[in-house]
Amino acid sequence: MPEFNLLNLFIFHLIFIHISFTALAIRRDIGLQVHACRNTVQGRYLLADDKGYVCDALSVDPESRCCFQKGEQYSCQGCNLISQCCNSYELCVSCCLNPLQTQKELAVKVKISKAETAGSSDTLMESRLAGISVVLGRQGESCNSVCKLSGQSCVPSRLSVLNECKIMQRYMNCKRGCIASMGPDQPAEVVDGAPKHLYPGACLYSKSQTAFNCDGLHQHTRRLCPCA
């Protein structure tokens, strides 16, 4: 009888060890399939996981360290995309993890940057032309002659301000665009009746900032003149 009990006990131990190893293997297999999240540790009440979910510490899966994904993913609640400020670090992380939101934010920044740059450029230009009358001369006239006809004088220091395509397009047609050139008559527009090699209808701006003067003229151009 004792020998029988001992044999039974030995068999029981073998079965228990087999079951234990099998269960351990199953748990290991399951563990390999679970995505372990990285999450924030800064906040006292909230945390964000690397999937973009935000939750409190009690709503975290103890094995994966991921939020249970019941809340909003990639939440930007409390975030201002323009100023790039958020009232919660965790929400900021969640918002920034959204690849689509990042692209939209970048696009917004680019538009704002371009608008601010254009606005500041226009403001600077307007301030530099304060008190100046911009006059389009007749064919073959110098700016001294153009301004004198209106009882004013040419201001040579403002020729460089007018020496930009977007400025010339305000006062002239520039049908053939703007072309960088050299000449004492610039900025100017080539008249329609000029020879083809002179690009009729094109606006000319000078590549040299030292070439501006009020006396320059050309028989096939109309000058843009700053008078005061």
Give the model's pLDDT for residue 39: 84
Q: Round to whole Å and give the CA distance between 121 and 135.
A: 21
Domain-terminating residue out of 106, 141, 157: 106
Is 123 within the bounds of a domain?
no
Q: Which residue has the tokens 């004198």?
A: 148
What number is the average pLDDT over the span 169-184?
90
Top-confidence residue, 2 or 83: 83
Is 66 within the bounds of a domain?
yes
**Statement to judge: residues 148 and 221 lie in one domain:** yes
**Statement to judge: residues 222 and 143 lie in one domain:** yes
pTM: 0.47
pLDDT over 80 at 159, yes or no = yes
SS3 content of the chain, % helix, strand, coil (to 5): 45, 15, 40
What would the pLDDT profile of 119-139 be if each residue is shown by its tens digit?
555 666 667 788 899 999 999
What number is the average pLDDT over the span 41-53?
80
Is 43 within the bounds of a domain?
yes
Domain total in the chain: 2
When the pLDDT of each residue in the chain is averaged and rounded to a whole number, the result is 77
Q: How confident is the model at residue 10 (pLDDT cuts 50, 70, 90)?
A: very low
- Look up residue 174 and give its two tokens: 């520039």
How far is residue 180 CA from its own chain's centroid? 29
Is 67 within the bounds of a domain?
yes
- Look up residue 56 and give its two tokens: 């409190």
Is 19 within the bounds of a domain?
no
Please state whether beta strands 178-181 and 54-56 pair in parallel, antiparallel, or not at all (unpaired): unpaired
226 with 195: CB under 8 angstroms?
Answer: no
Q: How confident is the model at residue 2 (pLDDT cuts 50, 70, 90)?
A: very low
Q: Round to whole Å and give the CA distance between 163 and 157.
A: 11
**Statement to judge: residues 138 and 55 lie in one domain:** no
Is 164 within the bounds of a domain?
yes
pLDDT over 90 at 95, yes or no = no
Q: Round to whole Å and give the CA distance between 55 and 73.
A: 10
Domain-terminating residue out of 72, 91, 106: 106
**Statement to judge: residues 168 and 218 lie in one domain:** yes
Is 116 within the bounds of a domain?
no
**Statement to judge: residues 151 and 202 lie in one domain:** yes
What number is the average pLDDT over the span 201-228?
90
Give the model's pLDDT for residue 3: 46
67-94 residues labelled b (16+ CB within 10 A) or e (exposed): beeeeeebbbeebebeeeebebebbbbb
**Statement to judge: residues 137 and 102 lie in one domain:** no
**Statement to judge: residues 147 and 213 lie in one domain:** yes
**Statement to judge: residues 222 and 178 lie in one domain:** yes
pLDDT over 80 at 173, yes or no = yes
Give the model's pLDDT for residue 156: 92
- Look up residue 160 and give its two tokens: 């460089």
Question: What's the domain range around 67?
Answer: 34-106
DSSP H or E stretch at residue 166: helix 165-171
pLDDT over 90 at 94, yes or no = no
What number is the average pLDDT over the span 156-180?
91
Give the model's pLDDT for residue 93: 83
Among residues 103, 98, 31, the alpha carbon closest in space to that of 62 is found at 31
Share of the chain above pLDDT 70, in %: 68
What would the pLDDT profile of 53-72 be if each residue is shown by its tens digit?
888 878 888 888 888 876 67
Burial classification of residue 2, based on how many CB atoms lie within 10 Å of its CB (0-12 exposed, 13-18 middle, 19 or more buried): exposed
pLDDT over 50 at 78, yes or no = yes
**Statement to judge: residues 77 and 162 lie in one domain:** no
Q: How far is CA 149 from CA 133, 153, 188, 222, in A?
A: 13, 9, 18, 15
Is 147 within the bounds of a domain?
yes
Top-confidence residue, 87 or 129: 129
Give the model's pLDDT for residue 218: 94
- Look up residue 79 and give its two tokens: 């975030």
**Statement to judge: residues 48 and 95 lie in one domain:** yes
**Statement to judge: residues 171 and 217 lie in one domain:** yes
**Statement to judge: residues 173 and 223 lie in one domain:** yes
Q: Round to whole Å and give the CA distance between 146 and 215.
A: 10
